[in-house]
Amino acid sequence: MDWGLRNRLSRIIKQDGRTVMLAVDHGYFLGPIKFLEDPKKTITPLIPYVDAIMPTRGVVRNCIDPNIDVPIVLRVSGGNSIMGRELSQEAIITCMEDAIRLNVSAVAFSIYIGAEYEHQTLVSLSKLVDEGERYGMPVLAVTAVGKELEKRDAKFLSLACRIVAELGAHFIKTYYCEGFEEVTQKVFVPLVIAGGPKMRKEEDVFNVAYNAIKKGAVGVDMGRNIWQNKNPIGMIKAIRAIVHENRTDEEAYEIFIS
């Protein structure tokens, strides 16, 4: 791994080997989803508590202060929407030149294993890795599962994560699942977990984050379970405590309500 690429990655995954990323890229296929209608209003108060932010270039240019000292992981895949026939039909929508112009620290691309456009997403990811290696830009592969959330089992996710690691992704965003250690054991690059749709109880979010870290994830890249909560600052502080201070899920809940 080249110096520039390692340096960019080190801005995201901190010295303790962990990271708290804030996912705010949902609008690229979902439009103005609940609590992200005004991205600036949602994102700004959370910035002091996160190690990285994951937006689209539209949000970066219009809703994020260029003076911040928080690395950006730029969503560069899209071209689909929740209204379309097939969510897996994603391609590169933002070129490497623009990612460099925005001074981002990594680019993120979704792949869809087992879906109609699996081949297109895997080949595009590989091309993005070629460009990432050329310019020193880390690539985050997002193992999206489309509308079929029931696919989130250890067998499927370890297959998806291992394939993108083999294709050269520098780090991976996936989902937590029963038997998550099977996923981390079979994948040789760092894994962060998404939160998925908002859970009913905060305790469940902390439990997922705690178990993911215990079983080998290097952090989280959560969105809805942070900013769709009535107390987003409490959520992010509690998640930080799990990720960076090795606190338990019960301790995190105490932090959340304090």
Active site residues: 173
Eight-class DSSP state of 115: S
Contact with ligand R5P (CB under 6 A) among 141, 222, 235, 236: 222
Token readout for 85 is 């026939």
Binders of ligand R5P among residues 52 to 91 (CB under 6 A) are 54
Task: Count CB atoms within 10 A of the CB of residue 31.
Answer: 12
List Cβ neighbours of 117 (8 Å cut-off, separation of 6 or more): 86, 88, 89, 90
Strands 19-23 and 219-222: parallel
Q: Using CB under 6 A as the criterion, what x/- string covers residues 148-187 for binding ligand R5P?
A: ----------------------------------------
In the complex, least distance from residue 188 CB atom to ligand R5P, rounded to whole angstroms: 23
Cα-only R_g, the chain:
17
Contact with ligand R5P (CB under 6 A) among 8, 11, 26, 240: 26
Which region, judged by CB under 6 A, interacts with ligand R5P, from 61-69, 81-89, 95-103, 192-200?
Answer: 192-200
In the complex, least distance from residue 226 CB atom to ligand R5P, rounded to whole angstroms: 7
Residue 25, interface with ligand R5P (CB under 6 A)?
Answer: yes
How far apart are the C-alpha atoms of 164 and 156, rounded to whole Å?
13
* Size of interface with ligand R5P, in residues (CB under 6 A): 15
Which region, judged by CB under 6 A, interacts with ligand R5P, from 91-99, 200-208, 215-223, 240-248?
Answer: 215-223
Residue 223, interface with ligand R5P (CB under 6 A)?
Answer: yes
Token readout for 124 is 């595009």
Contact with ligand R5P (CB under 6 A) among 5, 9, 23, 145: 23
Contact with ligand R5P (CB under 6 A) among 144, 161, 164, 189: 144
For 18, 70, 84, 126, 180, the CA distances from 214, given in Å and listed in that order, are 12, 26, 38, 30, 10
In single-letter form, the type of residue at position 77 comes to S
In single-letter form, the type of residue at position 96 comes to M
Residue 142, interface with ligand R5P (CB under 6 A)?
Answer: yes
How far apart are the C-alpha atoms of 197 and 149, rounded to whole Å?
10
How far apart are the C-alpha atoms of 71 and 131, rounded to whole Å?
19
Token readout for 105 is 């620290």
In single-letter form, the type of residue at position 76 comes to V
Contact with ligand R5P (CB under 6 A) among 106, 157, 194, 213: 194
In the complex, least distance from residue 24 CB atom to ligand R5P, rounded to whole angstroms: 7
Nearer to ligand R5P, 33 or 154 (CB): 33
Q: Which residues bind ligand R5P (CB under 6 A)?
A: 23, 25-26, 54, 110, 142, 144, 194-196, 221-225
